[in-house]
Amino acid sequence: MHRIFETSFASVYPLYLAKVERKGRTKDELDTVIGWLTGYSAAELEDQIARETTFREFFASARLNKAASLITGSVCGVKVQEVEDPLMKQIRLLDKVVDELAKGKALEKILRTL
């Protein structure tokens, strides 16, 4: 078991936010991509943060978007499509969409809309 599984999502969220804001993106855009991936509404996302749920709990309650399977590429040198552990894969998918947002990718492309 990896220690990130028991890390609170609330402790990592500010790091995601700082990363995207440094690149000129907004909290609303970050919340949009997280909501798209996890199925959380803005209120549900805020609740997850307030309750300081672990990544394990965060993804256990999530309704992963069916289009998440379209997310490919590397995060920290690891290809997300090759991660075998289901929870680690979900965490890597989240990292990937946050990276895409920070790198300036269009929201429509991150959300895998046609």
CATH number at residue 53: 1.10.8.290
pTM of the model as a whole? 0.94
Q: 54 in helix, strand or coil?
A: strand
Do the domain assignments include residue 111?
Answer: no
Do the domain assignments include residue 46?
Answer: yes
Do the domain assignments include residue 114?
Answer: no
Do the domain assignments include residue 18?
Answer: yes
Specify the pLDDT at position 2: 87
Q: How many C-beta neighbours within 10 Å does residue 79 have?
A: 12
Residue span of the structural domain in which 93 resides: 3-105
Do the domain assignments include residue 110?
Answer: no
Do the domain assignments include residue 67?
Answer: yes
Closest CA to 23 of 105, 103, 108, 106: 103
Contacts of 2 (CB under 8 A, 6+ apart): 85, 88
HSE, CB side, 13 Å, CA atoms: give it for residue 69: 1
Residues 30-44 have pLDDT tens digits of 999 999 999 999 999
Backbone angles phi, psi at 54, to 5 degrees: -75, 165
The structural domain count of the chain equals 1
Specify the pLDDT at position 113: 77
Do the domain assignments include residue 112?
Answer: no
